[in-house]
Amino acid sequence: MSSQLVDRFIKYVKINTRSDESSTTVPSTQSQIDFSKMLMEDLKEIGLSEIEFNEKNGFVTASLEANTDKDVPTVGFIAHIDTADFNAENIQPQFHENYDGQKIVLNEEKSIVLSPEDFPNMKNYVGQTLITTDGNTLLGSDDKSGIVEIIGAVEYLLNHPEIEHGKVRIAFGPDEEIGTGADLFDTDHFAADFAYTVDGGPVGELEYESFNAASADLFIQGKNVHPGTAKDTMVNALKLAVELDTMLPQEEVPEKTDGRDGFYHLLGIEGTVEEAKMGYIIRDHSRELFEEKKQKLTSIVEELNKRFDQKRITLTLKDQYYNMREIIEKDMRSVEIADEAMRNLDIEPDVKPIRGGTDGSKISFMGLPTPNLFAGGENFHGRYEFVAVESMEKAMDVIIEIIKLTHTK
Ligand SMILES: [Zn+2]
């Protein structure tokens, strides 16, 4: 077992770096700043240069200097330090060596079991060393795996100066899980030609297509009068909200779509007869269909508003991120090199559109093509999260291979 990688992983996951959606600071939690400062010490210790913490965006960046005179592209690797909205206090990673393919009791006392019946993906790990939770927390493999794989890769190259490589930039940032971390990323300062987020799932994942994403918030002004004398006067805001939802395409919801099919996802309705609020997220891989979906909702609101002598429904649409494919397609080097790197290591690349977004969705639109590489973890964001040591080793190897291949381009 590659103990350096695993030791670092255990050290990092035990530190609570949960982000907080309700916070207004950057990063959203002090614990992420503390973690970043500790990371900087580790990066210094292994011998990286240009180690910096950016107070404005919360990113730690560092460089592995080129050891060649050849003019080669600068490649970047990015991972996030925060963990998802789930208990991250007192994480106690559990090792299961030579996994036998059977269920794993995570917590005897609370009868929490990680079972292949619920998670058939476990069957892919027979004979490997799994790291799981103790059932009380998430694991934080998302994305501490990515962090240790990147550090492990550059450390390996520092220890093997005979391997020629160009400059490598690395960045560890906050608040990916609350969707804001990459907003202030500084691509000029990062100064890479292309980059990768190392934040994907199982071995082989290579993603350069994400959703286009928008939020839609609706405010509905009703008119409340005594129900006994309400005829032709009352406007029930809640009923309007329900009606509006039924006017949307009923098949275009998350629970009925997959692959490249987009959706409207109703997140909440709350209110009274007098006023109501509702919130949606809108998602589609196709920019055209994405724009159509927003237009559809806008038209429905206009149609409903026509019924009244005043505007009763107010719609606020906000674009959140776009499909990175639009940008990456213009410079496919990052994807081609990652594909080749995996094949060189006998890993079959698994390229598929992400039904979500990554930090790379935003960073790509800032001008830095940034597809997503597997980090190895499974069952993210909850107590059933696990990662195989072998997967982390493979991800580290892929990063090293990408750096080597970039040198030949
Ligand atoms: Zn992640």
319 tagged catalytic: no
Q: Ligand 1 centroid to 89 CA: how many Å?
A: 18
Average pLDDT over residues 21-25: 94
User: Model pTM?
Assistant: 0.91
Average pLDDT over residues 395-407: 97
Q: What is the pLDDT of residues 217-237, one digit of tens each?
A: 999 999 999 999 999 999 999
pLDDT at 1 over 80: no
Average pLDDT over residues 8-36: 97
Q: Ligand 1 centroid to 311 CA: how many Å?
A: 41
Q: What is the pLDDT of residues 261-289, one digit of tens each?
A: 999 999 999 999 999 999 999 999 999 99
Q: Ligand 1 centroid to 401 CA: how many Å?
A: 22
Q: What is the pLDDT of residues 281-340, one digit of tens each?
A: 999 999 999 999 999 999 999 999 999 999 999 999 999 999 999 999 999 999 999 999
Q: What is the structure's pLDDT at 17?
A: 98
Could you say which of 20, 82, 143, 209 is catalytic? Answer: 82
pLDDT at 76 over 70: yes
SS (H, E, C) the chain: CCHHHHHHHHHHHCCCCECCCCCCCCCCCHHHHHHHHHHHHHHHHHCCEEEEECCCCCCEEEEECCCCCCCCCCEEEEEECCECCCCCCCCCCEEECCCCCCCEEEECCCCEEECCCCCHHHHHHCCCCEEECCCCCCCCHHHHHHHHHHHHHHHHHHHCCCCCCCCEEEEEECCCCCCCHHHHCCHHHHCCCEEEEEEECCCCEEECCCCEEEEEEEEEECECCCHHHCCCCCECHHHHHHHHHHHCCCCCCHHHCCCCCCEEEEEEEEECCCEEEEEEEEEECCHHHHHHHHHHHHHHHHHHHCCCCCCCEEEEEEEEECCCHHHHCCCCHHHHHHHHHHHHCCCCCEECCCCCCCHHHHHHHCCCCCCEEECCCECCCCCCCEEEHHHHHHHHHHHHHHHHHHHHC
Q: What is the structure's pLDDT at 3?
A: 85
Q: Ligand 1 centroid to 346 CA: how many Å?
A: 25
Q: Ligand 1 centroid to 379 CA: how many Å?
A: 11
Q: What is the pLDDT of residues 165-199, one digit of tens each?
A: 999 999 999 999 999 999 999 999 999 999 999 99
Q: Ligand 1 centroid to 141 CA: how many Å?
A: 8
Q: Which CATH class is domain 212-321?
A: alpha beta
82 tagged catalytic: yes
Domain-by-domain residue ranges, the chain?
3-209+324-408, 212-321
**Higher pLDDT pick, 87 / 352:** 87
Confidence band of 2 (pLDDT split at 50, 70, 90):
low
Q: What is the pLDDT of residues 114-171, one digit of tens each?
A: 999 999 999 999 999 999 999 999 999 999 999 999 999 999 999 999 999 999 999 9
Could you say which of 134, 143, 149, 176 is catalytic? Answer: 176
**Which CATH homologous superfamily contains domain 3-209+324-408?**
Zn peptidases (3.40.630.10)
How confident is the prediction for the chain on average, in pLDDT? 97
